[in-house]
Amino acid sequence: MCGIVGYVGKKSTAEILLNGLSKLEYRGYDSAGIALNLPSGMKVFKANGKLHNLKNVMTENIAAGSGIGHIRWATHGGASEVNAHPHSCNCGSLVLVHNGIIENFQELKDELTGCGCVFKSQTDTEVIAHLVAREFEKVKDLKTAVINSIKCLKGAFALCVMHNDVQDTIVVAKRNAPLVLGVGNGENYIASDIPAIIEYTKSAIYLDDNQIGVVSADEIKIYDASGNLLTSKVENLPFEPQALSKMGYKHYMLKEIHEQSDVIRNILAASPELQLKKFDRIQIIACGTSLHAALVGKYVIEDLAGIPVDVEASSEFIYRSTIINENTLVIGISQSGETADTITAIKQVKEKGAKVLIVTNRPDSTMARLADNLFPIEAGIEVSVAATKSYMAQLIAMYLLGILLAKDAEKAAVIKAELSQLPAKVEMILNNSTAIAEIARKYSNFKNFIFIARGINYPSALEGALKLKEISYINATGYSAGELKHGPIAMLDESMPVLAFLSEGIVYDKVLSNCQEAKARQAKLIAVTNVENSTHQGLFDDIIQIPHVSDMLSPTLNAVVLQLLAYYIAEFLGKDVDQPRNLAKSVTVE
Ligand code: F6R
């Protein structure tokens, strides 16, 4: 949610900021802006909408020793040029960019307005600009002004602040929002996330909550909230710049779908040694697609290990009395490791004494840093906003965890052997993607969609619907097939396609009967199936035949199909596949 970039050094600051923002577009794309600190005054450029609009207004090549940039995902105040960051104080000599939400902004705004501050935007961020500027007037030191100001802030923030009286320096601070400082040679970088800086440096300092950084070209100094100088730890960044290329695919999403066979190979090869403390139940918390992986995990772990597993959306988990204690293993699943709801939930359960295992694609993330045990899923950086390969890797992590905790070693060995066959089967589906694209074309003009499944594929129905709606904006819902007759069946007629995941296993016959019920109401029926049965021909309008796997592993292959279908439907509709409207990849606000 919102991306921040900063640079101090001798290179073209504007170019570095624009390039960095282009790598952070997955964090938001409602507006963009840049401020350059020139001896003659601050130069601020802003544009509503996507980053290319900002590039269009930045036609001059202006040399500056320091600058900050921002890409916005709107929270307070709509998407507009006036609400775009950087925001400034009355006289414009102080500018700042912010990621997060200031919960007490209204109270601060009222007070600052009373002191003569004039607000130009509807954002919560602008209060910080006025607040720091007022402090700066008093103490004449930017670092102290930031330290004093953040004491008044409630909520989450990652900030970059510049003042025109302090050339070639950026002051940064953070609480509950990510910020990384890239260490260069005679230059330094700031970013919300590594992709913005990885092509310039592989060394970085991660700022902790309530720390303040003073970044100049030659040094980075880190202070605690009382202004004491701290020793900072420089770490090696984990990514290669080439991970950020589309490698000839039209979209990152398609590339990432095609990477899934290798993703499975990588995670199987890396499977970590986990030393888990004794526990008697498991609670999994996650959001969105990661929540669907968690639901599959419940089936897998309960079946293989016989341990009770509860799964809940983090955003629901945090606002009720939960029964968690030192005998509960809490598993947080998150691609980004930065999802605010899940971070809050993890902090809560840690206070109750639970041990936390984090399953994430970002071993450098906030969640990873909170973990008692870490399970990195090795999917490689995922750029497209819609999660695909990270979902696959999360599913495999659930199987590996089930195997690790299994009571029946023989059953676990069978699943393990079957996992090693998966990459080849995923490739078989990918090689058949033209047939899936044809079916996608046929259904791309329907306004509504229903996905059904039962058992371990119920989460596949949920994920199928989520993927379709988030990138094509088609109204799609996932139901457990058995629930259809308890209400949703009322919606069925020839205008409603129903896609059924029909995998061999305990619920196959039941799902087939539920499909018959849908057919009797004239619904268009699509099967995604690994069963060859002549009754399918008469029943389904379209059949996507996939390789055979056991019931337990079937969500993996179904995932590839649902991703390809969603991708091709969105692509036929001409949607912005990698950056769907209103979304952001890293959801750092509650
Ligand atoms: C959907 C999607 C989101 C995320 C959700 C959680 O394609 O990407 O639903 O799964 O925002 O994000 P993470 O996994 O980063 O915690």
DSSP string, 332-347: EEESSS--HHHHHHHH
Please report which helix (H) or strand (E) contains residue 360, including its range. strand 355-360
Query: What pLDDT sits at residue 277?
Result: 86
**Ligand 1 midpoint to CA 72 (Å):** 18
**Ligand 1 midpoint to CA 290 (Å):** 6
Q: Which residues of 341-363 are buried (b: 16+ CB within 10 A; e: fewer)?
A: bbbbbbebbbeeebbbbbbbbbb
Using a 6 Å cutoff on CB, does residue 463 contact ligand 1? no
Question: Given a cut of 70, is residue 514 above it in pLDDT?
Answer: yes
**Ligand 1 midpoint to CA 255 (Å):** 18
Share of the chain above pLDDT 90, in %: 87
**Ligand 1 midpoint to CA 132 (Å):** 34
Using a 6 Å cutoff on CB, does residue 289 contact ligand 1? yes
Q: Which of 23, 355, 389, 585 is catalytic?
A: 585
Could you tell me the maximum CA-CA distance found in the chain, to the nearest angstrom? 82
pLDDT in tens, 400-434: 999 999 999 999 999 999 999 999 999 999 999 99
Using a 6 Å cutoff on CB, does residue 387 contact ligand 1? yes
For ligand 1, mutation pick of 287, 292, 315 (most atoms within 8 Å of CB):
287
For ligand 1, mutation pick of 193, 285, 289 (most atoms within 8 Å of CB):
289
pLDDT in tens, 151-194: 999 998 999 999 999 999 999 999 988 899 999 999 999 999 88
**Ligand 1 midpoint to CA 291 (Å):** 8
Comparing 57-61, 383-387, 471-475, the range with the smallest average pLDDT is 57-61
Please report which helix (H) or strand (E) contains residue 499, including its range. strand 497-502
Residues whose CB falls within 8 Å of the CB of residue 15, separated by 6 or more in sequence, listed in order: none
Q: Which long-range contacts (CB under 8 A, 24 or more apart) does 47-56 make?
A: 47/81, 47/84, 48/79, 48/80, 48/81, 48/84, 49/79, 50/25, 50/579, 51/18, 51/21, 51/22, 51/25, 54/18, 54/21, 55/18
The 10 Å Cβ neighbour count of residue 459 is 29
The residues pairing with 284 across neighbouring beta strands, listed in sequence order, are: 311, 331
Q: Would you say 69 and 99 are in contact if contact means Cβ atoms under 8 Å apart?
A: no
pLDDT in tens, 16-46: 999 999 999 888 789 999 999 999 999 999 9
What are the strands, taking DSSP E only, across 217-327?
Answer: 220-223, 229-230, 235-236, 281-286, 309-313
The DSSP symbol for 573 reads: T
For ligand 1, mutation pick of 311, 335, 389 (most atoms within 8 Å of CB):
335
Residues 528, 524: Cα–Cα separation, whole Å: 14
Question: Given a cut of 90, is residue 137 above it in pLDDT?
Answer: yes
Q: What is the DSSP string of 506-549?
A: TTHHHHHHHHHHHHTTT-EEEEEES---THHHHH-SEEEE----
- 385: Cα separation from own chain's centroid: 7
Structure confidence at residue 543 as a pLDDT band (50, 70, 90): very high
Using a 6 Å cutoff on CB, does residue 287 contact ligand 1? yes
Structure confidence at residue 248 as a pLDDT band (50, 70, 90): confident
414: which 2 tokens? Answer: 């069978």
Helix axes 409-431, 554-572, angle to 10 degrees: 20
- Residue 79 gets the label, from left (phi > 0), alpha (psi -120 to 50) or beta, of beta
The residues pairing with 211 across neighbouring beta strands, listed in sequence order, are: 174
Averaged pLDDT for residues 125-137? 97
Q: CA separation (Å) from 374 to 153, 276, 371, 377? A: 32, 10, 6, 9
Residues whose CB falls within 8 Å of the CB of residue 574, separated by 6 or more in sequence, listed in order: none
The closest-lying atom of ligand 1 relative to the alpha carbon of residue 291 is: 10
Question: Given a cut of 90, is residue 125 above it in pLDDT?
Answer: yes
Sheet holding 355-360, edge to edge: 309-313, 281-286, 328-334, 355-360, 373-376
Averaged pLDDT for residues 209-217? 96
Q: CA separation (Å) from 80 to 25, 47, 84, 85, 91? A: 17, 8, 6, 10, 21
Q: Which of 2, 89, 117, 287 is catalytic?
A: 2
Question: Given a cut of 80, is residue 369 above it in pLDDT?
Answer: yes
Q: Among 46, 28, 27, which residue's Cα sits nearest to residue 36?
A: 46
Residues 96, 190: Cα–Cα separation, whole Å: 13
Using a 6 Å cutoff on CB, does residue 464 contact ligand 1? no
pLDDT, averaged across the chain: 94
Question: Given a cut of 90, is residue 86 above it in pLDDT?
Answer: yes
The closest-lying atom of ligand 1 relative to the alpha carbon of residue 339 is: 16
Q: Would you say 450 and 495 are in contact if contact means Cβ atoms under 8 Å apart?
A: no
Helix, strand, coil content of the chain in percent (nearest 5): 40, 25, 35
Winning range, highest mean pLDDT, from 53-67, 142-156, 242-256: 142-156
Averaged pLDDT for residues 519-542? 95
**Ligand 1 midpoint to CA 465 (Å):** 14
Query: What pLDDT sits at residue 242?
Result: 62
Query: What pLDDT sits at residue 501?
Result: 98
Please report, to the nearest 10 degrees, the dihedral formed by the alpha carbons of residues 300, 506, 531, 568 taken in order. Answer: -50
Tell me the whole-structure pTM to 2 decimals: 0.84
Using a 6 Å cutoff on CB, does residue 288 contact ligand 1? yes
For ligand 1, mutation pick of 285, 336, 382 (most atoms within 8 Å of CB):
336
396: which 2 tokens? Answer: 């495999």
Query: What pLDDT sits at residue 241?
Result: 65
Query: What pLDDT sits at residue 75?
Result: 86
The answer to whether 2 is a known catalytic residue is yes
Using a 6 Å cutoff on CB, does residue 334 contact ligand 1? yes
- Residue whose structure tokens are 């999994």: 284
What are the strands, taking DSSP E only, across 39-101?
Answer: 41-48, 66-72, 87-88, 94-99
Protein residue whose Cα sits closest to atom 3 of ligand 1: 288
Q: Would you say 476 and 449 are in contact if contact means Cβ atoms under 8 Å apart?
A: yes
Question: Given a cut of 90, is residue 584 above it in pLDDT?
Answer: no
Query: What pLDDT sits at residue 511?
Result: 96
User: What phi, psi does 361 have (nearest 5°)?
Assistant: -90, -5
Protein residue whose Cα sits closest to atom 5 of ligand 1: 288
pLDDT in tens, 425-482: 999 999 999 999 999 999 999 999 999 999 999 999 999 999 999 999 999 999 999 9
How buried is 311 (Cβ within 10 angstroms: 0-12 exposed, 13-18 middle, 19+ buried)? Answer: buried
- Domains of the chain, with CATH numbers? 3-242 (3.60.20.10), 245-420 (3.40.50.10490), 428-582 (3.40.50.10490)
The residues pairing with 331 across neighbouring beta strands, listed in sequence order, are: 284, 357
Q: Among 569, 568, 532, which residue's Cα sits nearest to residue 548?
A: 532
Query: What pLDDT sits at residue 74?
Result: 87
Using a 6 Å cutoff on CB, does residue 384 contact ligand 1? no
Query: What pLDDT sits at residue 25?
Result: 86
